């Protein structure tokens, strides 16, 4: 028998296993993560794990403890990228030709192209982050990287004990801890999406990955648009946060600098100055990039038989097809038709 309940004061969903047996454990892991379980062995006859998870749009957060020594081999779900790190105890992960020993502060990444074999000690409690490849690509675009090498692959091992890896891990851990608290920002869908975008953009900056080189950066060679988002998102002036919220929630609207300034109760000049100061770009460029990103996401999910490029472009506020096509190619290094063919 298996009981599942949702905590009334938190966002975590939690599965408790009572006499579920190995088959029940395997079935629940598959249902939650989408993984195909190729092999599952436990030192004891009946593992009683605790499994907590929370899913945002493109990201699955999970914490699991088996309370027994466990060996599991998996095939991740299509398009999945997984980061696993112990919160306590020890783990060994064999993936490709690598045998990786993990303890707290060390993480391993694998994708749907891998078939990892994972061994957890009886006292091991692990955190798992699963994110789609599309979301990783969008995280790169938050960095200003327009030409994304396909497919994006995370570095196999990450040190969460120092440098950028530590900064990113602290944000990941903060979000997981927040899910246990009532009345948090992530309970609001649009706030949760902002936190998710911040987490993934920081992940792309915190570790090496398959991506374009320096030539894919903005014309001045900087990453200022991303730097502003990461370094100051929580300390932006309230009127800048208001303008960003309007653009991100309704990019298809015919925003102007004047209309944004009026809604944010600030002068046009001050709003332009803060965009430059915190994001390194103008409000107009930020609006255009946001709309282009939404077109890209729509084309990736579309069927070439059901929609046209013009239709999707108009839905996101682009009326001039020639100008739209040039801007799209500049940002994504491919024509809209190429994106739609890959859908």
Taking residue 316's Cβ as centre, other Cβ atoms within 10 Å add up to 18
Q: Report pLDDT for 75.
A: 93
Cα–Cα nearest to 250, from 297, 291, 197, 279: 291
- Rounded CA separation 136/196 (Å): 11
Average pLDDT, integer, range 281-303 = 88
96: left (phi over 0), alpha (psi -120 to 50) or beta: left
Structure-model confidence comparison of residues 7 and 320, the more confident one: 320
**Are the C-beta atoms of residues 54 and 48 closer than 8 Å to each other?**
no
Say if residues 208 and 143 touch (Cβ distance below 8 Å): no
39 pLDDT band (50/70/90 cuts)?
A: very high
pLDDT at 245 over 90: no
Residue 135 CA to residue 113 CA, distance in Å, equals: 17
Contacts with 307 (C-beta within 8 Å, 6 or more apart), sequence order: none
Supply the pLDDT for residue 207. 65
Domain 2-132 has CATH 2.60.120.10: yes
User: Strands 125-132, 91-95: parallel, antiparallel or unpaired by DSSP?
Assistant: unpaired
Confidence of residue 4 (pLDDT cuts 50, 70, 90): very low
Type and span of the H or E element at 101:
strand 98-102
pLDDT exceeds cutoff 60 at 40:
yes
According to DSSP, the β-strands at 106-111 and 157-159 are antiparallel
Closest CA to 96 of 82, 113, 78: 113
According to the model, what pLDDT value does residue 1 have?
A: 35
Range in 119-123, 182-186, 198-202, 266-270 with the lowest mean pLDDT: 182-186
Mean pLDDT over each residue of the chain, to the nearest integer: 79
Strand partners, 127: 63, 85
The most confident of the ranges 34-48, 138-152, 200-214, 257-271 is 257-271
Work out the pLDDT band at 9, boundaries 50, 70, 90: very low
- Per-residue pLDDT of 254-268, as tens digits, reads 899 999 999 999 999
Domain 236-341 has CATH 1.10.630.10: no
Torsion sign (Cα): 133, 138, 143, 148:
positive
3 state SS of 86: strand
- For the record, the structure tokens of 215 come out as 């030539």
> For the chain, where do the domains classified as CATH 2.60.120.10 start and end?
2-132
Under 8 Å between Cβ of 96 and 161: no
Ordered alpha helix ranges (H), the chain = 21-33, 133-142, 163-178, 189-206, 224-232, 238-249, 257-264, 268-279, 283-301, 309-315, 321-332, 336-341
Say what the alpha-carbon torsion angle 1, 74, 108, 70 is, to the nearest 10 degrees: 50
Q: Are 86 and 102 in contact (CB under 8 A)?
A: yes
Phi, psi of 219 (to 5 degrees): -55, -30
- β-strands 80-88, 2-6: how paired? unpaired
- Best CA proximity match to 246, nearest among 258, 228, 235: 258
Sheet with 70-75, side-by-side order of all strands: 36-42, 70-75, 117-120, 91-95, 98-102
Question: CATH 1.10.10.60 region(s) of the chain?
Answer: 236-341
pLDDT(234) > 60? no
């Amino acid at each position: 028998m298996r009981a599942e309940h949702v905590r009334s004061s938190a966002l975590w969903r939690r599965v408790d296993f009572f006499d579920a047996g190995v088959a029940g454990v395997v079935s629940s892991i598959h249902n939650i993560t989408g993984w195909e379980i190729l092999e599952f062995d436990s030192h004891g006859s009946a593992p009683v794990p605790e499994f907590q998870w929370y899913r945002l749009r493109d990201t699955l957060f999970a914490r699991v403890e088996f309370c027994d020594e466990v060996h599991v081999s998996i095939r991740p779900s299509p398009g999945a990228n997984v980061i696993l790190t112990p919160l306590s105890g020890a783990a060994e992960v064999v993936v490709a030709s690598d045998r990786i020993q993990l303890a707290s502060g060390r993480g391993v990444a694998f994708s749907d192209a891998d078939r990892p074999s994972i061994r957890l000690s009886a006292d091991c409690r692990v955190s798992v982050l699963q994110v789609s490849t599309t979301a990783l690509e969008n995280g790169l675009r938050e960095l200003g990287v327009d030409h994304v090498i396909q497919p994006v692959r995370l570095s196999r091992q990450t040190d969460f004990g120092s440098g950028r890896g530590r900064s990113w891990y602290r944000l990941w851990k903060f979000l997981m801890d927040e899910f246990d608290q009532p009345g948090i920002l992530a309970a609001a869908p649009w706030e949760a999406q902002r936190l998710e975008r911040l987490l993934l953009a920081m992940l792309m900056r915190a570790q090496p990955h398959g991506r374009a080189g320096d030539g894919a950066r903005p014309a001045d060679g900087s990453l200022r648009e991303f730097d502003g988002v990461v370094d100051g998102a929580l300390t932006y002036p309230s009127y800048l946060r208001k303008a960003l919220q309007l653009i991100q929630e309704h990019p298809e609207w015919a925003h102007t600098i004047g209309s944004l300034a009026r809604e944010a109760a600030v002068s046009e000049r001050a709003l332009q100055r803060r965009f430059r100061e915190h994001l390194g770009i103008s409000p107009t460029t930020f609006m255009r990039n946001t709309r282009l990103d939404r077109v890209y996401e729509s084309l990736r999910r579309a069927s070439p038989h059901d929609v046209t490029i013009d239709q999707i472009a108009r839905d996101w506020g682009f009326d001039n097809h020639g100008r739209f096509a040039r801007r799209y190619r500049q940002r994504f290094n491919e024509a809209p038709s190429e994106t739609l063919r890959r859908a």
